[in-house]
Copies of this chain bind each other. A is one copy, B any other.
Amino acid sequence: MADTVGFLTMADAVAHTDAPEIGVGMLGYAFMGKAHANALKKLPYMIYPPPAVPKLAAIAGRSEAKVREAARRYGFAKAYTDWRAMLDDPEVQVFDNAGPNDLHAEPNIAAAQAGKHVISEKPLGRNAEECKLMWEAVKKARVKHQVAFNYRFVPAVRLIRNLIDAGKLGRIYHFRAAYLQEWIASEDFPMVWRLESKHAGSGALGDLGSHIVDLARYLVGEPKSLMARTETFIKQRKDARGKMQKVDVDDAFQAIIEYRNGAVGTLEASRFCPGRKNSNTFEINAEKGSVRFNLEAMNELEVFWKDGERDTQGFTKVLVSESYHPFWSHWWPQGHIIGWEHTFVHEFAHFFEAIVNKTKVAPHAADFEDGYKNAVICDAILASARERKQVDIKY
């Protein structure tokens, strides 16, 4: 790479910038692993100059063939079938947990104990108890910790938060969120790990609901109490061997939330909504206006301002893609939209910035404290559904 042919020679094009290289060890190579790897690779040339250049040091996974293939595909230098071994690797400075819910607590705690910074997929754990252990471990180890609630990093969502912080909305009356998908709304759909409480903790609640619980906390504030219901529409499904197995998680939940600041609203998630591909929608109604968001059209935001010009008041559809919008200076000219995967680029940049510049992960990203509080709320939803009465939120 060092020979000169033309006018200029790039001494070390791989390094990209003067930013420090930070070694990342990732657990998992499935859907989330792919999203994380892509983000790590895009980060240094799109968020430019980057706070750090992630070095794809190692990847770990159960299947030797698959983890090897993933390493070749994404360019990880090493591949492990034992995540414990990967945590011993001195080239790994950041542990990136893209594994399933039941593989969060033990590796995250071990990583903290090994002095690695930890970024973990959501929900942080299967219940508040294991989340608390994780939170305590990272606090004790004094490492950086982040939960990958990536929807905080949608430009439109950050814009809403900025509007709220600037007092543009005033007192919030309502937060109404529903995360709806369709993929198990058929009796033919088989038993999978996401339908077993031992692996997933809960169903639609942990998978989808935890996202909107996080957005509620990020945008509105802390809940005070809630009433909730869960439902399992199809109670048995066939496993890979054709045997009927009990579904012991929720297919859907609905919750009524009262917030400490006086706002009230609903949260709902379901995987039984035909036509809803990845429909994470919410609306805020407040003293000075309203905002609406829909993940399937994530580059858009709808806002209503009470003080808008009278004759032409209404909901304005903002195409969030101007250079002055959150994160957009890194991307393209206006109207050239970005995709779902870009939220991961933003959240990894945020995490590396926290590591390099020693800034706080919260409030714009969720840290393990947020992950724990999220789990307390999810647990309270299950408790209210069981007891059929209001439950107060206590952290």
Contacts and interface: CB of A to CB of B under 8 A. Distances in A.
A225 to B, nearest CB: 8
Interface string A21-50: 000000000010001011001100110100
A159 B311 contact: yes
A231 interface: yes
Interface in A301-353: 301, 303-306, 308-319, 321-322, 324-325, 332-342
Interface residues of A, number: 127
A136 to B, nearest CB: 28
Given A275-B290, A311-B324, A228 B256 contact: yes
A89 interface: yes
Given A38-B42, A80-B8, A275-B304, A316 B319 contact: no
Q: Which of A10, A79, A176 has the most CB of B within 10 A?
A: A10
Given A316-B316, A335-B296, A341-B332, A8 B71 contact: yes
Interface in A211-232: 227-229, 231
A82 B339 contact: no
Given A16-B72, A41-B45, A388-B227, A335 B303 contact: no
B319 A277 contact: yes
A393 B147 CA distance: 42
A289 B275 contact: yes
Nearest to A275: B304
A332 B340 contact: yes
10 contacts: A6-B79, A7-B81, A8-B79, A13-B75, A45-B75, A174-B273, A227-B229, A274-B286, A311-B318, A316-B317
Interface of A: 1, 4-10, 13-17, 31, 35, 37-38, 41-42, 45-46, 48, 56, 58, 64, 67-68, 71-82, 85-86, 88-89, 91, 159, 162-163, 173-174, 176, 178, 180-181, 183, 185, 227-229, 231, 233, 252, 254-256, 258, 262, 264-266, 268, 270, 272-279, 283, 285-290, 295-301, 303-306, 308-319, 321-322, 324-325, 332-342, 388-390
